[in-house]
Amino acid sequence: MIGDQRPAVLELSSVSFVREGRTVLDAVSLTVRAGERWAMLGSNGAGKTTVLGLCGAQSHPTTGTVRVLGEQLGRVDLQVLRRSIGHVNPRHPLRSPLTIREVVLTGLRGSVDLPPRWQPNPQEVARADELIADLGLEGKAELRWPTLSQGERGRALIARALIADPRLLLLDEPSTGLDVAAREILMETLDGLDTSHPDLASILVTHHLEELPSSTTHALLIAHGRVAASGAADEVITSREISDAFEHPIDVSRVAGRWSARARPRVHAGA
């Protein structure tokens, strides 16, 4: 199935979220279909993290409806639902010196550390090693978390998110802390998911257009808790739409499938 014929993986319908009397989100609607690669962009405080929390079944809306993988929040066991959602957070709160293989295996249980008395079966270990190799970490499965570079951690977390064969992948600023080379390796990794996981839907949150993989198909711009623009990436990630959402004149360009942004020089009076 292609285009709008693909099944909806995520549906937010007129969602609002109020925290301590403050409206954080207001009438946000979004539909993500299988195989679509979404980018969510917006300035600090725009509401991106709150939207991602709803998408990941981490919180409930104040009003409106959220359906994730066909299940409506408020009518489903969230713990069960979360196991079908892959979540990549570069601030992964791991404190134990687990190996890369062990970190990846925690994705089967949706835990941070390995559960007590739990042992993966040989097929699960083989799958973990396959993902580790596919994500450019071959020969590093025994390396321990404290010794890893930020780029190695990022790829390990993607493997961890994929091991449970999720239908939805959420990436929360995955380029945080990466140098240019590590960021480009990560972008290549994400682009490779088009081939290895063609039906996987994903949402990547970032502040920076340079951190969007070329495989991005759609974009959602959030400003002041509302949808500023939503749709096909080439129609949304434009100078006009980005300038409006970030409330600053910005020139957007795209070369070889990748976006970049530069602030437009201000014209001074009398110049």
Domain boundaries along the sequence of the chain: 3-84+166-263, 96-164
Residuewise pLDDT in 10s, the chain (271 residues):
444 578 999 999 999 999 988 999 999 999 999 999 999 999 988 999 999 999 998 889 999 999 999 899 888 887 778 888 998 988 888 888 999 999 999 998 888 888 888 888 999 999 999 999 988 899 999 999 999 998 899 899 999 999 988 999 999 988 888 888 888 888 998 999 888 889 999 999 998 899 999 999 999 999 999 999 999 999 999 999 999 999 999 999 999 899 999 998 766 555 5
| Predicted structure pTM score | 0.89
CATH superfamily of 3-84+166-263: P-loop containing nucleotide triphosphate hydrolases (3.40.50.300)
DSSP code per residue over the chain: --GGGSPEEEEEEEEEEEETTEEEEEEEEEEEETT-EEEEE--TTSSHHHHHHHHTTSS--SEEEEEETTEETTSS-HHHHHTTEEEE-TT----S--BHHHHHHGGGTT-SSPPTT----HHHHHHHHHHHHHTT-TT-TT-BGGG--HHHHHHHHHHHHHTT--SEEEEESTTTT--HHHHHHHHHHHHHHHHH-TT-EEEEEES-GGGS-TT--EEEEEETTEEEEEEEHHHHSSHHHHHHHHTS-EEEEEETTEEEEEEPPPPPTT-
